[in-house]
Chains A and B, each alone.
Chain A
Amino acid sequence: MDIANYIYLSVLLFTIGAIGVVIRRNAIVVFMCIELMLNAANLAFVTFSRVHGNLSGQVASFFTMVVAACEVVVGLAIIVTIYRSRRSASVDDASLLKR
């Protein structure tokens, strides 16, 4: 099996995550799709690290994980705050900037 298959899988997962952001209405699910995209990128990193025989890819992946964690923390805190004042977690409710 060709190692490139990992890359294809990564692309596929990334696309699914991108569409999920656009389709789902629950803010938390949207967040989860973003996490899926990040994970797909991590997979690509690791695969290329294997290809090049170099651990830089894995280090990059590591940093991505750290940053993703921070992002999740802050993002979920924001969602909770918004939920507390608006009682709704739907992204469609934030539509005041319409024409």
Chain B
Amino acid sequence: MTTSTNLVYLISLPLFSAALLLLLGRIADKWGHIFATLVSASVFVIGVLEFFAMQGRDGEARAATQKIFEWISVGTFQVDASLLLDQLSICFVLLISGVGTLIHIYSIAYMSHDRDRRRFFAYLNLFIAAMLLLVLGDSYLNLYVGWEGVGLASYLLIGFWNQKPAYATAAKKAFIANRVGDLGLSLAIMIAFTQFGTVTFAGVKEGASGASAGALTAIGAMLLLAAAGKSAQFPLQSWLGDAMAGPTPVSALIHAATMVTAGVYLITRSNFIFDASPTAQLMVVIVGAITLLFGALIGTAKDDIKKALAASTMSQIGYMILATGLGPVGYAFAIMHLLTHGFFKAGMFLGAGSVMHGMNDEVNMRRYGAIGKVMPITAATFGLGYLAILGVPPFAGFYSKDKIIETAFNAGGIEGVLLGGATLLGAAITAFYMTRVIVLTFTGTKRWDENAHPHESPFLMWAPMAVLAIGSVTSGFLLSSGSALVNWLQPVVNEHNERHSEEFLPPLVVSTMALVVVAIGVAFAILKYRTVPVIAPLDVSLFTKAARKDLYQDSFNEAVLMRPGQKLTAVLVTTDYKVIDGLVRSVGWVIQTMSSALRSIQNGYVRSYALIMVLGVLALVTAIWMVTL
């Protein structure tokens, strides 16, 4: 491990910038956005420099650490606030800062009409700082600080236009769903501490080899819960659709490229736990498989372009989670898909934002149509992203997604077939709904509103989209040529350099199968959406109805969690009022009643007072009599 002194700047610069922009207020309105973008760019530059420095080092010295200060030192519990930049973290650092900077540039133009633009950039920088802390922390506790930070930033950014109550509620929903996941992370940290006495990654890795299966499974399950919350996986996936209430750059950055990938990072970072606990791994693949199908199904019926892309994100992250559950060979592919997904999904979201910007913030795709003619650059970049997500060679998704499908099949036995089948089915449905989005938006006949005058977006908006499109095209090839990423990450995720066992099917066969199902999906979509009604038709199949209602996720949550929760609260309030307050009030009541009773002794008659005196003497005599017994 090399010691570095530069790592802290990765976090402190954007954090300082956020604080500055928030504290200065309106004064910074004129230059706040430029400043924030420059800060983000400088973080990227530092990241790139560190990357090259890392490449220059070898073996053990490749990773760099920096201790900032001693944080907690209580008895045997020691946690330092220190940072770890190793092969895994640098991928995330580059992704976050790179895509982040592009989105900063995009937002300068997108939010130019908003009077709170400076606050937006402050929050964006805050997010960058928190996410970097998440990926750079060297212990679960440091990671947790970043984890909470990104949750906060997400809440602030989703509810950015909180004048609309629905948006504020969406922010709350996201935060609460995240909180349930955070519970998992807290419990995992606590279990880790009781089992291993430490919460640093290195310490837990050491202790994992000697721990009991039960403890490892418990930690794994809790970490999975945390990942599910942050990455919108089943069962905590209901917040992602509503999170689209935030401005589009937010959706692109946080809910496509970075924050929602934090769960994948967590599981990958904890590979030593999951590799040691097959039960936990099984849970992971089940969650991943369910979510990838869940998201895909929802995506087929969404008319809101952002919600369709959000469902797509949910599904793609399901792929990544599935991959992380497939053992040491899967982690690298999950990270590869994460990186490529960052490019094409962020690109598509920015494209959607561009379309919305041109169509007066209309999100209903049924009111789009033939935009491709008016906004060619947007259509081109969006289209490249579309091809990437489909997995068409030689675009990015082909390399990453096919590897996941392959590894799923190679898991062996029934599990392999089921998982592989699920991924293929997912690919087909993905092809269907993504084609649907393209067809509804960019092709076909105009279904525009009267005052919609779509025009191409300004340079500051299409330039980042173009860069991301280039990434969508080339990143897959670059990352997988010569197994570059796999070899780069191997010291971190695959220490013993395991290779997957028996190949179930040759890679070529798998790729062909994938392309075939994709083609089927595309064709189906094109055929179905030759004509598009402007009002969504009501007599549709049960599937469509269910998919429109997000597969009843909200109804389920409400019936199972919300209403019982409300009843419980009501019961507790009543108990508090009647029982606890009642107890307190009854003390007063008892005293009042006793006083009333005692008052009646004062009837004003001298004789009764005399009687009381006599009774007092009687009491005295009784006491003496008792004492001398």
Contact = CB atoms under 8 A, between A and B. Distances in A.
**Direct contact between A and B in the complex (CB less than 8 angstroms)?**
yes
Interface string A88-99: 000110111111
Which of B603, B606, B610, B611 counts the most A-chain CB atoms under 10 A from its CB?
Answer: B606
A98 B602 contact: yes
B603 A22 contact: no
Contact of A96 (B599, B604, B614): B604
Interface in A42-99: 91-92, 94-99
A25 B603 contact: no
Interface in A6-35: 18-19, 21-23, 25
B556 interface: no
Nearest to B611: A22
A22 B614 CA distance: 8
Nearest to B612: A22
Nearest to A91: B606
B610 A99 contact: no
Contact of A99 (B603, B607, B611): B603
Contact of B604 (A21, A22, A95): A95
B625 interface: no
Given A18-B614, A21-B610, A22-B610, A99 B599 contact: yes
A22 B607 CA distance: 5
A95 to B, nearest CB: 3
Nearest to B614: A18
Contacts of B603: 95, 98-99
The interface residues of chain B, by DSSP majority, are classed as helix
Interface residues of B, number: 12
A22 B608 CA distance: 7
Contacts of A18: 614, 617
A70 to B, nearest CB: 21
B31 interface: no
Contacts of A94: 604, 606
Given A18-B614, A22-B614, A97 B602 contact: yes
B69 interface: no
Interface string B594-629: 000001101111110011001001000000000000
A98 B604 contact: yes
Contact of B602 (A19, A23, A25, A99): A99
Contacts of B602: 97-99
Nearest to A23: B607
Nearest to B606: A91
A95 B610 contact: no
A92 B607 contact: yes
A91 B606 CA distance: 7
Contact of B600 (A19, A23, A97, A99): A99
B605 to A, nearest CB: 5
A84 to B, nearest CB: 19
A23 B617 CA distance: 17
Contacts of A22: 607, 610-611, 614
Contacts of B606: 91-92, 94-95
A94 B603 CA distance: 11
Interface in B563-609: 599-600, 602-607
26 contacts: A18-B617, A19-B614, A21-B607, A21-B614, A22-B607, A22-B611, A22-B614, A23-B607, A25-B607, A91-B607, A92-B606, A92-B607, A94-B604, A94-B606, A95-B603, A95-B604, A95-B605, A95-B606, A97-B602, A98-B602, A98-B603, A98-B604, A98-B605, A99-B600, A99-B602, A99-B604
Given A22-B614, A99-B604, 9 more contacts: A18-B614, A21-B607, A91-B606, A92-B606, A92-B607, A94-B606, A95-B603, A95-B604, A95-B605
Interface of A: 18-19, 21-23, 25, 91-92, 94-99
